Structure 1
C-alpha cells in the first residue's frame, strides 16, 4: 500500500538543505503541505541565508504546497509563531520532524561551556520547543506524528562530540516519555539516527563513493515511515546507505545481593552476573526497572 500524506500538514525544521530538504521534498511529493523551516545559517549556527525559500520553490515547481519559515528553534516564541502561521494557512499541523542542528566539535578538554550549551540548546531544547509548540494542537485533534533526530554519537559515542552526543541521547530520552504522554491522543513519537553525507559531514574525509551512498535520499524512507499514519511509536531507528536497523535501551536481569554483600567489594564479586545479558529486556517505561529490582529481591526472600 502506498503511504500518502494527502491532507496532512508537516513541519520540517532545518529543511534548507541536506536531510531536512529531502524530507520536505518527499513529504510534498506524497501530498503533504510542508512548512520548510530553516534559520539558514552555516553548520556552526552562524549567519543566515534564503535556503528555505529555495526549497519551497522546488516544491511549488513540482506542483506541491509549501511555505518557508526562518524561525530559530532555540527560541520558543518563534516556534509558537511558526505553528500559528501554519494553522492560519492550512488549518492544523499533523507532523513534526525535528531535524535542525549545528556542530561545534572539539574534545571536551578544549571545548568551551558556551559551545557545549549552544549545541544542547539547538538540538535538545530546540526540538522540545518545536514539539511543545505543536503538542496541544495534536492533542486536541487526536493525531500527531513527531520525529526526533538522534545520532550514533548520542547512542554510542564519538570522540570530539560530547556536546552533540549529550543532546542527541537526550532526544532519545525525550521520545521515551512523550510517547507515553501522547499515546491516549494518538500522538506517536519516534527517534531517527541517520548516517548521511551532508553539509554536516562533508569534511570528514570519507571517499566520494561512500559520500554518495550516504545520500539523504537513502535516509528519507525511514523518516517518512516513522511519521506516517501507521507508524510505530517509541522506536529508535538507524538509517544510512540503504541499510536500516533498530536500537534499544535494554535492561539485564541483574542480581539482588544479601545485605552483607551490598558493598563495593560485593559489586565487584558479582559483576559478571550484573552485566550478563541472558534474559535482558527492553522496558517500555521506567517503572519496569523497579519491577526487575523487585523480581531479583524475590529470589533472595524479599527486601532483607
Structure 2
C-alpha cells in the first residue's frame, strides 16, 4: 500500500477525487435515499460447504492452489470479451495495490457455464466453493443464460464479483482465509463497484446515463446504483477527519476503501438474502 504515496501518487489522487466526487452529488440532490431492504432484487454470490470441509480436503495437497494457465479457457465470445476487459484493467491495477480483488492471471482459469440459475437458484450468477466441477486451473462460474445477450461491461461486472469469490476460495485452500461470510460478499461487491468506477471516460459516461435513464436497468447496474445511493445518503466525512490516523502502513487510500467497505457492509447485512446465506437470522 505504501506505493500509492510514491510513484502511484496519481492513482491515490484519482481515487480520492472520485470518492469525494460521488459524495458531492448528494449536495445537488442527484440521488434519493433508498430502502436498504431493496438493495438487490436479484442476487449474486457464492455457495459453499463448511470451511472445515474445504480445508480438510486441501491437507492432501502440498502445492499452493492457484491459476497457472498462461492462456484463457475457451468461453463464448461475449464472456471472453468481458474477461479480456477485466484482465486488461487488472494488469494495470496490479501496480497499485488495493484496486484488484484478484490477480489478473486468474481470468485464464475461469469457465463460464450458462444455465437457468435465475429460476433455479434465485440468483444472477454464482461460484460454488468446492464444487464437484472444480479442477486444477479450472473454476466454473455459473451465470443466468440471459447474460448471453448482455453487453461486455455488464458481464464484466458480474464476473468481477464471482472471480473475487474464486480468489477467496483459493485463499481458503491455502490457509489464508480470514473473512467471514458477510465480509466475503462485501469484498465482492466492493470489487464490482470499484471496477465500475475506474473505466475510461466514455464507459463511465455510458454507465452513468444508463443508471439515470434506463427504465429496465440490468441487475448489475442496479447494484452500482444502490451502492452509490447509499454512500451519498450517509453523513459526509471530510478527508482530513477521515484520514487523520493515516500512516505508512495505513495510507489514506486504504482508509477510504475501508470506509466504503463498511458502508457496503451495512447494506449487505440488512439484506434478507444475505442474512439467510450467512446464517445471521
Same fold (TM over 0.5): no
TM-score interval for Structure 1 and Structure 2 normalised by the shorter chain: under 0.3
Higher helix share: 2
Larger Rg belongs to: 1
TM-score by length of 1: 0.25
* Structure of higher RCO (CA pairs closer than 8 Å, 6+ residues apart): 2
